[in-house]
Structure 1
């Protein structure tokens, strides 16, 4: 072959390579352009997710954490008020009793709010219930803000009770609302946003409680009244968004309203396929109305869904996250961190948890719920086992506390990415529209009873078992994780009819089941 032929061949190879690179670049730009168009179409959905969050599960997370920083100031205020009234300091036992009432009243209010959420959401709709629920924290914020001026610790007690009602009711309504507004391909992200706002609320409460912001004695009433701001923000913005589309169609038989809601949330295009799926689900109902809690408990076709809900919720409550936060202070001190730096390191845990839940929301629609949940459980179990060992040996080796710090962060990351991010998503997806409100009531009852029991029992468990309490949480997580590994089906990209068919194999094992075959139109387009 001559040199000219070689040169000509080289030019052709370079030309093909350039053409191939140009085509690949054009393909990437095309995919990016399509992805951006999809995001723009769903801008109404993303805005509603944010508006629901700030007045929903954010309030729950904020109220869990914002009482920690000013606790010493509130106790001092109670003592000063007692002296002002009775001319003598309050007895230690009486102070502990009053403080326990203030703390536990939040859980009692949350339990009552959860119990009432199912009936009210089914009758009046999620949007109206969420708007009315904002009145409660505004009233509670006024009580908190004026308690110091009025020299009344009773106002703090009442306000905490009202905050609990708001958190219990709002968490359930927010979960139902978010579970019904998303397209299938964004359902995981939308449902996981509930957990994002819980962790963001906890983190915000920690940050506002710093000494440099509101964590000083003169500003504690403002800190405890801050929930009123989030309530006002949602009350002003939520009226511009529609009611849940499935509620409009399946509960109110308002097809035109459902279509308009879908266009506002998902973009102005044809949504007949989504409406047809809702109508199919409505046609599969045994009754035309929503299921009550008692009917749900007796319904054989939803028995294994309830088992999953209980296992998921118990694993979330008793996985040991509270013990990890409790021992973080001790581990930081053993590692040699100054006391003034520990509050900021604790905020690092909050940032870590929030970041991991956000990460979960971004990948859950790609990798599925089962894989992320079970992987998170596995890493949590391993971290708890190693953490028990490192805390036991932290007095033996000078470098061991640093290993404990690393394990604490690994555990927090795996919790947020796994159980913390996926539990609420799965619980929402395994129940149909007619039973979702009742299921959220049961979940709320288990959640608030769990918080109450943990608050009462946990200090005694830690005092008795010390770092070996992690083994109890490890054992519970392992049992629940094993159960879910064998029986929990994947729900990613599936309609309720497909999910129901998966559970019918467990609910009615002796019956023959025809596998649901989705049509081409049922296949979810991936972003």
Structure 2
């Protein structure tokens, strides 16, 4: 016999007879399972919710606070990733000359093309190593300091980087540029991990995908903004390249001035800080109205599930069978984001545009079109994600990228035979980037926030960020060798990665649109415990069924 006592307003004490569930051959329920679903609503003081919520249609509030919070966090967050990728293209020749001049003044050495290129490659690649470092420290920082404070403190790395870049020319030190790029990489690595977590934990369920995907929108916007600021008419000329490298401080200052006015993540306040009143206050501000009972019920259920759990580390996830396929999915999608070659295609764009007959002076303007493609695609993805779902947009994006990689390979192979083939190659660049932006660019980032619970989420985001930055560094180092070694077939490996990833998504990844964490966990349970005894599977189904009964009764 199971006795359910749901003491929240509008709920009667209900006694269900003859509801025994057989677990491991005994007619009993594990105490931990029972406590999972015995929700004490009195702790939440439901007097905060209007009494007529159960009889009248809830009044929807304005989420202006949520929109402004997203803008503030993203301007100093993922926007920096795209911006700092873009601003390094224009001053390439100027910084290379600066390195050569520095060697001549210090040691009287005239560097050759190979040596200058090697140093320049290191200046560019150190950004990825900084991002890798930032991804590793983002998890512990977000647990100890909270999501908002971590983003604010992250600006220390950004402002230090800007100062070093600004003074590097005066100090005649290219080493300061290297340190600057490493520090701004740390800043990008932290924000790319913590910001989607902050958004996913602050947004209501029906807007969770769109709000989390705004991280990708601001990343692509930062890319376009960096390309525009890098024009020769602005800061992309020889006298101003040091100001271009330091210009990333402006978004950081905007965030420092605005983000403190917005609340911390409600889930962090409830689960990590155990502060129910602060959580409720944050929810009210972010929703712009009284908090819906359904949302509180969902939070309470998740809180009871992780009541005795501590924050997990990445190595804890490796040994936890209950999240095995969630971790594999995050690893596959985070790696595919870089191994698909989308970021590398930006470096290849100049060559293709040149082959298409565009003059060297006009290439910088045409290149802005590549950034605009991704920006436009991310906006469309943001508008469609809650309608089409995560799985369809992810799989569709990689399928399209596979097709365009094949067309691109054919176009490159025939460009010396057919006169209009270079223009087809140029078209493939835009369509490849559009396909990437329509799904993989944003959905891959928000996935860890949707399939892991509060205790595992920071470790999952840390793992995803580590793999993303590691693969970005690897692909950046080997891409020149792929071009020289494979020639017109250089995009065959990228197309293969896209095809394998699309197949994995179709076969393994469940849809998460509009689902609560317990629902998503139930989907993964079949994979994580496949091959176990039938009795254990039946017991688990009974446990989930009991949970659904209790949750529906609580509503």
Same fold, judged at TM 0.5 (above): yes
Task: Quote the residue 1:341 is aligned against.
Answer: 362
Q: CA deviation at 1:326?
A: 3.4
Q: Deviation of residue 432 (structure 1)?
A: 1.2
Q: Which residue is equivalent to 1:179?
A: 200
Q: What are the within-5 Å matches in structure 2 for residues 9-408 of structure 1?
A: 41-285=62-306, 287-408=308-429
Work out whether 1:410 is the aligned partner of 2:423. no
Count of residues in correspondence between the two structures: 485
Deviation of 1:362 after TM superposition, in Å, equals 0.6
C-alpha separation in 2, matches of 1:462 and 1:181 = 43
Deviation at 1:202, TM superposition (A): 1.4
Partner Cα distance (1:176, 1:407) in 2: 33
Contact 1:331 1:391 in 2 (8 A): no
- 8 Å CA contact 1:192–1:422 kept in 2: the answer is yes
Contact persistence 1:250–1:278 (CA under 8 A) = no
Tell me the alpha carbon deviations over residues 391-421 of structure 1, each in whole angstroms, 9 at most, x when there is no partner.
Answer: 2112212222222222222221111002112
Change (3 A) 1:338 1:499: same
Give the superposition deviation at 1:323: 4.3
Q: Does structure 2 retain, via aligned residues, the 8 Å contact 1:250–1:279?
A: no
With over 3 angstroms needed to count, the CA separation of the structure-2 counterparts of 1:520 and 1:283, relative to structure 1, is: closer
Question: Do the aligned residues in 2 keep the contact of 1:214 with 1:222 (CA within 8 Å)?
Answer: yes
Q: Which of 434, 450, 470 pairs up with 1:449?
A: 470
Q: Is the 8 A contact 1:54 1:230 kept in 2?
A: yes
Q: Is the 8 A contact 1:311 1:484 kept in 2?
A: no
SS in 2 for 1:341: helix
Distance 1:333 1:104 in 2: 25
Cα distance change on mapping 1:339 and 1:365 into 2, 3 Å: same
1:84: how far off?
2.4
CA offsets 1:148-180 (integer angstroms, 9 cap, x no match)? 112121211111111111111121111211121
364-373 or 96-105, which deviates more: 96-105
Q: Could you say what secondary structure the match of 1:490 adopts?
A: coil
Structure-2 separation of matches of 1:155 and 1:331: 33
Q: CA deviation at 1:345?
A: 1.1
Counterpart CA distance in 1 for 2:409 and 2:307 is: 51
Structure 2's unaligned 5+ residue stretches are: 1-58
Select the residue among 478, 482, 493 that pairs with 1:472. 493
Verify the 8 A CA contact 1:180 1:246 in the aligned structure 2: yes
- Within 2, Cα distance between the matches of 1:257 and 1:146? 43
- Alpha-carbon deviation of 1:434? 1.1
* CA displacement 1:153-210 (0-9 Å, x = unmatched): 1211111111111111121111211121100110010111111111111111111111
Deviations 1:343-396 (CA, angstroms, capped at 9, x unpaired): 111110100111001100011011111111111111111111111111211221
CA distance in 2 between partners of 1:131 and 1:323 (Å)? 31
Instruction: Give yes or no for contact 2:394–2:505 (8 Å, CA) kept in 1.
Output: no
1:14 alignment counterpart = none
- Structure 1 residue 521: Cα displacement: 9.5
Q: Give the CA deviation at 1:91.
A: 4.8
Contact 2:283 2:291 (C-alpha < 8 Å) held by counterparts: no
Deviates more, 1:233-242 or 1:407-416: 407-416
Match of 1:30 in 2: none
> CA offset at residue 324 of structure 1?
3.0
- Alignment partner of 1:264: what SS? helix
Greater Cα shift, 217-226 or 335-344: 335-344
Contact map agreement 1:377 1:415 (CA 8 A) in 2: yes
Cα–Cα, structure 1 residues 335 and 186, in superposed 2: closer, same or farther, change >3 Å?
same
Distance (Å, rounded) in 2 between the aligned partners of 1:412 and 1:180: 29
Instruction: Tell me what 2:509 maps to.
Output: 488
